[in-house]
Structures are given as C-alpha cells and as structure tokens.
C-alpha cells in the first residue's frame, strides 16, 4: 500500500528541511505560522529549501507561487497536489 500524497509530501518536506536547517524541529513550529519567520530562514535558505523540495519530491515551486507556500501547512498541501505520479 502506498502512502497518501499528504503523507509523502510531509515526509519529503521534512527531509528537504533537514538538509537546509537541521537544527530546526518542525514539530515545534506552528504549521500555520510564516515558515521563514518561525524557522528563522534567510532568503538564501528559503531558496535552498525550494531547490531541496524539487530534488527530494520532484515538485518545482515557481517564484510566482512562493506566497502559496509560506507556511508548513500550505507547503504540504501545495506539494501534495503536485506530486508526480508514482513517487
């Protein structure tokens, strides 16, 4: 049985996040709060996270959609809706 897109997105995002900011505990971050603020990510870290998401999950996030992924909750939803088939 394969995991749901939400579960796959959450797991992949955690892996991508650990690559960029391993010191941050995602379980301690409010999933509805601004992720950059909550995790103290600068603009370079934020871009590196977007790249890591693409590498980890195969989901590109264009700059025009950055506002759509400003929280961990919205990022999970965004990525889950765009996961490639069979990933």
pLDDT at res. 25: 86
49, 16 Cβ separation under 8 angstroms: yes
pLDDT at res. 2: 72
| Whether the predicted pLDDT of 84 surpasses 90 | no
Tell me the whole-structure pTM to 2 decimals: 0.88
Identify the residue with better confidence: 53 or 85.
Answer: 53
Return the domain boundaries, the chain.
5-82
| Whether the predicted pLDDT of 57 surpasses 90 | yes
Q: Is 40 left (phi over 0), alpha (psi -120 to 50) or beta?
A: left
According to the CATH classification, is domain 5-82 in 1.10.1200.10?
yes
45, 82 Cβ separation under 8 angstroms: no
Residue-wise pLDDT for 22-55, tens only, equals: 988 888 889 999 988 988 899 999 999 999 999 9
């Amino acid at each position: 049985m394969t995991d749901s897109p939400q579960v796959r997105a959450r797991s992949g995002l955690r892996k991508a996040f650990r690559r960029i900011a391993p010191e941050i505990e995602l379980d301690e971050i409010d999933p509805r709060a601004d992720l950059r603020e909550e995790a103290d990510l600068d603009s370079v870290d934020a871009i590196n996270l977007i790249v890591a998401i693409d590498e980890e999950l195969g989901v590109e996030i264009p700059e025009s959609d950055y506002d759509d992924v400003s929280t961990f909750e919205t990022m999970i939803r965004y990525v889950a809706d765009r996961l490639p088939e069979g990933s």
